[in-house]
Amino acid sequence: MSEYVVAVDVGGTSMKGGLVTRAGTVAATDRRPTGAELGPGNVIAAVRSFTGDLAARGAELFGTAPAAAGIAVPGLVDDATATALYAANLGWRDVPAADLVPLDVPVLLGHDVRTGGLAESVLGAGRELSDFLFLPIGTGIAGAMVIGGGPYGGTSGWAGEIGHVPVFPEGEQCACGQIGCLETYASASAVSRRYSARAASPATAEEVATLTAAGDPLAMKVWDDAVEALSLALATYTLLLDPSAIVLGGGLAEAGPLLADPLAVRLGKRLTFRTAPPLRKAALGVAAGMLGAALLGWRAAGVPEAGASWSPDVSRTPAVP
């Protein structure tokens, strides 16, 4: 069998790719735009070209075609037919895996957040945990619910949409059409938007975090609302799922104790008859999706045990986007 797989994490605006060996060595990485603004046909061509170029690079390095490919994509995936069903931000519908990978090798597709959760589960912050929540907080919020050792997708692939849990039913309108969703208070873009709408000049979420740490009252209020919304959603998650930990990732988690410390206090206060699960920081940063795609690739290649012994050298995402 070939010594490596092609792994690609397709995001809304850019793709991260890598060649990953069975021992977990990341032999090469690359990054490209998805070109989503040019329409779904262009995105499919871009992914196809990217995976093809990664495989060509692999042929140079290893002298063979890859053993398989793993692709993490936004939106719904049908595992049974290896089809990317639907992604609102990319505009595609019913894209077979073969359209994304111009190679005669096994391919597994995965939902982007759950693929990142798979990586955190197998080789990241949830390594020894069978049941936990991986919650990346970025432009939007969705969670990967690891249940019984693996990411859980629900009946139709829509599980984990914690960003649209109604935390303040009398609250602000969310872009989804609903009222008071977690995401509309606590995503990195919400923190930036809510501060900027009230301040003399706009600020990124990272800047709001800095202002909060410096004691700026308006920033502190916006930050406090985000913490309050997260504490409600995570109390609900804990009461329903009884996880052994909550792993915080994404840009907002880079704020570290500024987010995690008040959140842990409030989550504990909201749970009266049980203890709160510990909060952990995600271990794999922005590489989680690509590494999870590599795990999918090795599963497609018939090596499901790959990953447990990997010690990836992860360059962390530096800051709130």
List contacts with its own copies (CB under 8 A): 88, 130-131, 143, 145, 147-148, 152-162, 164-170, 176-178, 232, 235-237, 239-244, 270, 272-274, 277
CB of 224 to its own copies, least distance (A): 14
The smaller minimum CB distance to its own copies, of residues 62 and 168, is found at 168
The smaller minimum CB distance to its own copies, of residues 4 and 185, is found at 185
CB of 285 to its own copies, least distance (A): 25
The smaller minimum CB distance to its own copies, of residues 194 and 266, is found at 266
Question: Which tokens go with 84?
Answer: 């990317």
CB of 204 to its own copies, least distance (A): 27
SS (H, E, C) the chain: CCCEEEEEEECCCEEEEEEEECCCCEEEEEEEECCHHHCHHHHHHHHHHHHHHHHHHHHHHHCCCCCCEEEEECCEEECCCCEEEECCCCCCEEEEHHHHCCCCCCEEEEEHHHHHHHHHHHHCCCCCCCCEEEEEECCCECCEEEECCEEECCCCCCCCCHHHCECCCCCCECCCCCECECHHHHCHHHHHHHHHHHCCCCCCHHHHHHHHHCCCHHHHHHHHHHHHHHHHHHHHHHHHHCCCCEEEEHHHHCCCHHHHHHHHHHHHHHCCCCCCCCEEECCCHHHHHHHHHHHHHHHHCCCCCCCCCCCCCCCCCCCCC
The smaller minimum CB distance to its own copies, of residues 19 and 232, is found at 232
The smaller minimum CB distance to its own copies, of residues 18 and 153, is found at 153
- Measured in Å, how far apart are the chain's first and last C-alpha atoms? 40
Q: How far apart are CA 14 and CA 315, in angstroms?
A: 17
Contact 306, 3 (CB under 8 A): no
In degrees, rounded to 5, the angle at the alpha carbon of residue 13 between the alpha carbons of residues 134 and 166 is 45
CB of 131 to its own copies, least distance (A): 5
Q: How far apart are CA 224 and CA 254, in angstroms?
A: 16
The smaller minimum CB distance to its own copies, of residues 46 and 118, is found at 118
The smaller minimum CB distance to its own copies, of residues 277 and 312, is found at 277
CB of 241 to its own copies, least distance (A): 6
CB of 23 to its own copies, least distance (A): 31
CB of 51 to its own copies, least distance (A): 29
The smaller minimum CB distance to its own copies, of residues 182 and 320, is found at 182
CB of 126 to its own copies, least distance (A): 12
The smaller minimum CB distance to its own copies, of residues 142 and 255, is found at 142
CB of 237 to its own copies, least distance (A): 7
Q: How far apart are CA 138 and CA 40, in angstroms?
A: 23
